[in-house]
Structure formats: structure tokens, C-alpha cells
Amino acid sequence: MIVNLFRHTQALSVLSVFLLSITIWSGISYQEYSGLSNGISPLFDNFIAPILNYTIIARVIAGALIFWQALMVNKLMVGHGIYSTNTFYPALLFVLISCASPQFMQLSPSFVALLFLIIALQKIVNCYLVKNAHTLVFESAFLLSIAVLIHPPYLLFVPLIWIGMSIFSLGEWSYWVLSLLGLACPQIIGFTLGAYFQIPHLNFRSLFVFLDKTHVSTEFSTFDFLSFTIFGIAILLALMEVISSLKKKKIKARKSFVLFLWLFLFQGVYLFLDPSSFSSNLQIVALPAAIFISNYYYYKRATAWIKTSLYILLFTSILHQFWV
């Protein structure tokens, strides 16, 4: 039933993802942000963190943001023709993986910045076969730069812009210039406002502060390890499926998945270098994981194994909200 629902039925799929997002993120398992980012994300600390003191507003923002991100992930895969028919597997799996552990469900700088990374990836993928992609290149760089401004460790994802340009054959010098301008504009505006209003730590050096910080330790429960093991196996199987089937995919899908594999690689570097606790970075794991696992479910037939595994992922996430 669930397999067929998220494979074809758009209205019910949207409603299901919305209810799942609001029920879990705004209701059952919302966790208050554990504190300021210790100078790592000054823009977030000064402008967004104060809003989180109002619990009701923070809960509404959390539910709305995870739902919006889920829709954007789905649009990335379906709206740009990577999947040929409508499906809501990417949105469903993004929410499920984001809910893999309730103690990690926070409105953190990484979580807020992730929305801009997702939309930036959409712009890059949309460059395929566009005769004049200058606007798309500038917009993708601009959006990713906003993500960096919100959470500077996202600086590690900046090379995805140029890798995407190379993958989609955008080698003209004008594209490179526009990408640099797109990256520079939000930073110049942000640092100018920081100097004018004397906002603490909001300066050029803030881009690299995270490299000097030590990692914040994170404690995991027994169910955390169980949940991560189940989702880790699913990600590994899905990753193997993507790599083995690359040559069989259509050109745009193949190029897009190569970009997503690079995203998966940079995600590993990000998790290694970002000193924030893992509890604030689970959502960045959910992005490539949802893309790869949804590919596995989309192209496999509705066998008993597919149905069973999807139910396992669903019940693991939901059960964990009540058994921490």
C-alpha cells in the first residue's frame, strides 16, 4: 500500500509527508536548539537563535522547514526529469531519515542552511542543455553563498558549483566569473552589515573559525545505534545500486547522480571537519541518503522485499520517537 501510494498518488503523498513532518517535527520530537554555535555561525546566533526562545514559533518553523525541504528534494528528483514519472519517495525518505533519532531534531544552523543547498543543487541540475545558463549558475552560487553565511562550514560544499559546471559542460569563462560573483555578493553584503551594525564575529574570519574548533561530543542511545545501523545498511545498498546502474541511466539522470555522488563525498568531509555536534548535522546526511534510497525504490519492482524494507524504515523512525 505505502509503496504504491508514494509511487503514484500525488495528493495523498503530499498530505502524508505534511502530516508526518508536522506531527513529528512540530509536535512529538521537536528538540530545543542546544545553544549558540560558539562563534561558528554568527549570523544564525544573532538573528535566528533569538526566535527559537519562543517555543511555539520554533516548532511551527521546524515543521514547515522540514516539509519545504522534503518538497524541494522531491522537486530536485522529479521536477527536473531525473525520474520520468511522478513519485514522492524522495520526500518521504528525506523526512524519515531526518527523524532517525529524536534527539537530533533541532533547528540548527546546518538545518536552516540546508534549504539553500538543496535549491542551489536544483539550479545546477537545471543547467543541462540550457543554451544560456548564466542566470542559473549565478543563482546557484548565490544561494550556496547564503547557506555559507548562515553556517560557514557549508563552505566545504562550494566546489560542487564548479564540479556541476564541469559535469554539465559549462566550461566558458563567463560561467566561472558569474559563479565567483554569485559567491561573493552575499558575503560582501553580510560582512558590510556586520561591520556597520557591529555584529559580533560576523566578518571574513568567521568563514574559517570552524577549522579551529574542537568537535562537540555526542552521546548515542541504544536505539540510536539500531536506527543508524538500519538506515546505514539501506544507504549502502542504495549506493551500490546507483553506482552499478549509472551506465544504464539517461544522460541527464547519469550526470545528476554523478553530482550527487560528489555531494555524498563532500558530506563526509563536512561531517569530519564541522565541529558542531552530530545532533545538528543529521539533516545533511538525509539529503544524499534520500536521493540514493529513493532511486533504489523507484527502479526496483514492488517485490515483497521492497515493501518489507520500506515498512522497516518507516516503523524504525516512528517507533524511535517514543522509545529513546
In a domain, 5, yes or no: no
pLDDT tens for each residue of the chain, 324 residues long? 444 555 555 666 677 776 776 676 655 555 666 655 566 788 888 888 888 778 788 888 888 888 899 889 988 888 777 776 677 888 888 888 887 766 666 778 888 999 999 999 999 999 987 888 899 999 999 999 999 999 899 999 999 999 999 999 887 889 999 999 999 999 999 888 888 878 777 788 878 888 887 766 667 777 777 777 878 888 888 899 889 988 888 888 899 999 999 999 999 999 888 877 676 677 788 899 889 988 887 776 555 666 676 667 666 666 665 555
Domain count, the chain: 1
Q: Of 216, 257, 267, which is closest to residue 97 (Cα–Cα)?
A: 267
Q: Of 95, 123, 120, which is closest to residue 14 (Cα–Cα)?
A: 95
Domain extent at residue 261? 34-50+106-320
Beta-bridge partner residues of 31? 106
Distance CA 301, CA 217 (A): 42
In a domain, 298, yes or no: yes
In a domain, 172, yes or no: yes
Task: For cell 570552524, name the residue.
Answer: 210
In a domain, 183, yes or no: yes
In a domain, 81, yes or no: no
Chain Cα centroid distance, residue 139: 18
In a domain, 299, yes or no: yes
Beta-bridge partner residues of 106? 31
In a domain, 79, yes or no: no
Q: Write down the pTM of the prediction.
A: 0.89
Q: Is 100 helix (H, G, I), strand (E, B) or coil?
A: coil
In a domain, 6, yes or no: no
